[in-house]
Each structure stands twice: as C-alpha cells, then as structure tokens.
Amino acid sequence: MISLILVDNFTYTVFGFGVVSSTGIVRFIYALAFIFISIYINRWILGLLGLRGESKSTYEIPRLITIILGGLFIIFAVISVSVLINGFRNNNVQFTEILEEIPADTSRPNIILIGSDGLNATNMSMYGYDRETTPELSELSKTSLVAENVFSNASNSAGSIISMLTGKSPAQTRVLYPPNILEGENAVQHLPGILRDEGYTAIELGVPHYVDAFKTNLLDGFAVVNEREINENQGIRFARKLGLGNISYFLSEISDRIVERVMHIFFIQKMVNPFATVTQTTEIKHDSEQLEQLISLIQESDDPLFVHVHLMGTHGPKFDPEEREFSFGQSQQEDWELDFYDDSIRNFDRYIGVLLDALEETGKTNNSILIVYSDHPMQFNVRWRMPLMFHFPEDQFAGRIKTNVQNLDIAPTILDFLNLDQPEWMAGQSLLKNEIFENKLIFSTGTTTVTRNQQRRWVIESAQVKPPFYQFSFFNVINCHKWYWFDLTTQTWETGDVPGHTMPCSSDELLSMEDIKEALADYLAANRFDVSTLPFR
C-alpha cells in the first residue's frame, strides 16, 4: 500500500499524472500493478524471514528474531486488512445509516450553516447591488438578522472555516491552509463538539482537502464529513489522550490516501480531485449534489441536526452558472469576469430558494436556524465585505446590524440562541446581545506561500514556513470603515477604505496609525508570535 503511494507520487512528479487523473485502461493498469507489487513484496518478505521456501537472507537470522518479525508481519497484515475494511466503510457512508442512529428530539432546532465560496456583499442585491443577483435572499432578509459590514478572519478557506467552527482566530489555531491541522486542545474545542454534547448530529458537506473537518483534525464533532465517517478504535483514542494526536492523525491520513486510491483503481469509487474541484468549472457541478444531500437530510432526519454546507460555484476564477442572465451569449475569456460572477451568485440564490421550499414542505421552517455566510470575499480579499444572515424560528431577531461583524461571531450567536454558555476559549461575540461592541478591531490574516504538491493539490510551501511568522504572509486590521494591511515579508503598511461600508466613522472616531500598530503588535504577542523583529514595536 505504501508502494502505491510512492508510485503515485513518482508518476506525478516525473510525468504529471497519477491515480486521481487516471481513467479507463490506465486506471486498470494501476490495479494490475498494485496486485503484482503486493504479491511480490509479500513473497519477498516471507522468503526473507524463512517463512516461505528457503531464506533469501545472506546471513543467518536468529530464530527468536524470525518469530518476532513473523509475528509483526502477521499483525501488520491484519491491521492492513482492517484499515481497508474500515476505509471502504468510512468512505461509503449512507446518510440513512447515520440518521437511523439519531434519537428523535424536537426540543432543539436544526441548524443549517450554508455558504458559498468567495462572496462579495457588494455584488448582492440584498446589500443594495444594482443587479438583481439575490431575489430569494433579499426576500428572506426582511424576516432575518442581517449584518451589513462583515469581515473574514482569513483569506484562505481552511483558515476561515476553522475559525468559524472553533470560534478561535487563525493566529491562535495556526490553521490557514493545508497541511495545517488543529493540534492539542484546539482539536477538541469547537462548536460541533458543543452541539454534539447537546444531542446534535453534525454533518459537513464541503470540498475534499480544502473544506474538510477531518483533514484539519477537528475531532469529536462531526459524525460525517464529505460522505466519510471516522470510527476511531480505543487504541487511537488512548494515543490522543497521551498527547500522541499527531501520530494518530498521520496514520489516519495515510489510511485515507491508501483507501481512496485502492477504491479508485479497482473501480469501486471514483477518487475526487480537489484541485480540479476548485479550479475547473466542470467540477463545480457538485454544488447541486451537495444541495440534494442537504435536502435529503432535512427530509429524512429526526431533529436535531447541525449541517455545514460549503458550495463552490462562486469560487472562481472561472465560473459556470447553470442559468445565464448577465452573461447570456458570452464565453468567459478572462479570469474573474463580473457578468459570470454575478450569474454564479444568482445561481447560489436559487439554491437558497430550493432549500427554503424544502424546509417549508417538511414543516421545519420554524424549527430551523438558517445561516448564510461566506468564507472570504472574491479573490480572497479580506478588505472587502461579505454576507452574513441569520434566519431564526418564528422570524425572531429580524433587523440589520451596521457595526462591524466577523465570522468569529457566528458560533457565539448560535450558542446564545440555544441558551448555552459561551466557553472562555471562544472569541467573538453574540450578535443577539443588546449592546454589540462598536468600532471593534477585526484582525484577519492569510498566506501566499503556496505550491502544488505531488498530488497536484495546493499546499503551503514548507520551505517558507519559518520563524518568526511561519506560514503567515500578512495581517489586516479593520477599524470602522478603514483597513490597514501589514505585509510580514516586506514589513510595510498599506491602508484604504472598505468598499461600500454602510457605517463610516468620523476622523475623530478612527484610531491613529500608531494605535493600529500597537494593537497589531499586542495581538501577535498574545498569540505567541515573536514580535521583537517588528519595526514598530
């Protein structure tokens, strides 16, 4: 199995293709090669140990060592088989199987957290855009709590989503982009875990590799992530309790990589190409499938459910909307063309309409919290505004919030509505409070040190991860309607106005540049960064 991974990496590095891109006869050749290599290696090991024919070893192996090695060989063979069996099961989870295990409990509302990647508030008619891009959301906003000036805490999807689910900033968790993972207590302190303890079953429908709670090591929260289930044995759980979480994560990752490749080459289940999913418009068609799965969950489940859905139609740089209005008769020639982007937003809005119809048909509209969000604005620009809307049962808390809001506020707001205490480790504030902090500073960050690995997936370039700021490339500070961008590589500042901000401050209300610099230095120091090299410290 390890040989399959090595061969796969080799063909990617040298020839530019691998298991995930193989189709037809090439896929079959990989299967035959896997069988041949497996038989050869196992026969060779058995022969080396003297357990098959004459020993091929050039020196005499003591009998005791032979017995020990033979025993280990059998143990690892059994483990390998169990890994495959577990992997096949975990990668073919049927939602109906999970739902059968959920006890009926109508005392808690369903929570549906649904977003589309890279959404600009300024391109949505619910925020005043001159094109009718969001008629469904605009109508829903009349009975919802809508934040007008919302900002991301990370320019990268993984960092943003994890900050939203944990209520912790990327600077604290150190999660920005694959292969960053949650470690230590960060791996078990999160919203899905709290909701699980309250009887919720948490399910995530996202993008493999980039929006995947299991890949970022979010533990003891989601029951199913991207149609996969993790059934940890007691050994792995014990290892995590001993502080060996990274080892168990590594073994789990290796298992996943093996299983998805074996299933692909034996035509059991097609391997998903995460790179194609986020770059090629033909792969973005999976949004409609995600929506169908969500509606199926709503129709078949007993309450309560927490479902996180992350759609990709608005990701870019190329767009392929199902229906054309603004881009009708055109073909996209350049990246990020506005007509195609606006049509993709309109497409997402239609999905929201379909979801609302499903909630109405099942009678669950008034027993569901619907939250519409985005992970970051278009082109990963944290200086622009994003959408955020909460629709609560019985149209509670409807209104508009003009003060600055961040994705870190989502988890505290959910807990507040459920009358659950916000833990001390969770940052952000509930948007249901009578007094929301005005003019609070919002910090965001991101990385530009990414490259393609052997699996053709975008990952952080390890050579660039070094102190004092490691994978972080910049930090941005939002103060009212102004943004302040500090480039960590050049240690230079830029500043400007947030486009379309609906509650600008007077010059007297804005902090001075020196205050902003001091606030950023304090923020970095509080998150265990070495700030001694900062030019303004």
**Residue 179: which of 250, 91, 277 has the closest Cα?**
250
Express each pLDDT in 379-434 by its tens digit.
Answer: 999 999 999 999 999 999 999 999 999 999 999 999 999 999 999 999 999 999 87
Q: Residues, the chain, total?
A: 537
pLDDT value at 49 more than 70 = no
**Range with lowest mean pLDDT among 296-310, 388-402, 481-495:** 296-310
pLDDT of residue 325: 94
Architecture of domain 95-429: 3-Layer(aba) Sandwich (3.40)
pLDDT value at 282 more than 50 = no
The 8-class DSSP code of residue 270 comes to: P
**Range with lowest mean pLDDT among 116-120, 149-153, 298-302, 385-389:** 298-302
Write the CB contacts of 464 (distance below 8 Å, at least 6 apart in sequence). 449, 471
Range 66-80 average pLDDT: 73
Binned at pLDDT 50, 70 and 90, residue 467 comes out as: confident
Tokens of 371: 């939250």
Range 258-286 average pLDDT: 69
Per-chain mean pLDDT for the chain: 85
Cα torsion angle, 317, 150, 367, 95, sign: positive
pLDDT value at 123 more than 80 = yes
What is the pairing mode between strands 305-311 and 110-116?
Answer: parallel
Q: Are 439 and 198 in contact (CB under 8 A)?
A: no
pLDDT of residue 81: 64
Phi/psi at 405 (nearest 5 deg)?
-130, 155
The 8-class DSSP code of residue 127 comes to: G
Residue type, 491: Q
Range 337-357 average pLDDT: 97
pLDDT of residue 234: 54
**Would you kindly state where each structural domain of the chain is located, as residue ranges?**
2-90, 95-429, 445-526
- Name the strand (E) or helix (H) holding 351: helix 338-361
Tokens of 140: 């829903």
> HSE of 24 in the Cβ direction (CA atoms, 13 Å)?
1
Q: How far apart, in whole angstroms, are the C-alpha atoms of residue 5 and residue 453?
A: 13
End-to-end Cα separation, the chain, in angstroms:
51
Range 49-63 average pLDDT: 64
Express each pLDDT in 494-508 by its tens digit.
Answer: 999 999 999 999 999
Phi/psi at 292 (nearest 5 deg)?
-60, -40
pLDDT of residue 323: 92
Q: How far apart, in whole angstroms, are the C-alpha atoms of residue 192 and residue 225?
A: 12
pLDDT of residue 100: 56
Cα torsion angle, 531, 535, 536, 537, sign: positive
Q: Are 228 and 93 in contact (CB under 8 A)?
A: yes
Q: Which single residue is written with the structure tokens 């088989």?
A: 81
pLDDT of residue 4: 79
Range 463-485 average pLDDT: 88
Most confident of 164-168, 277-281, 528-532: 164-168
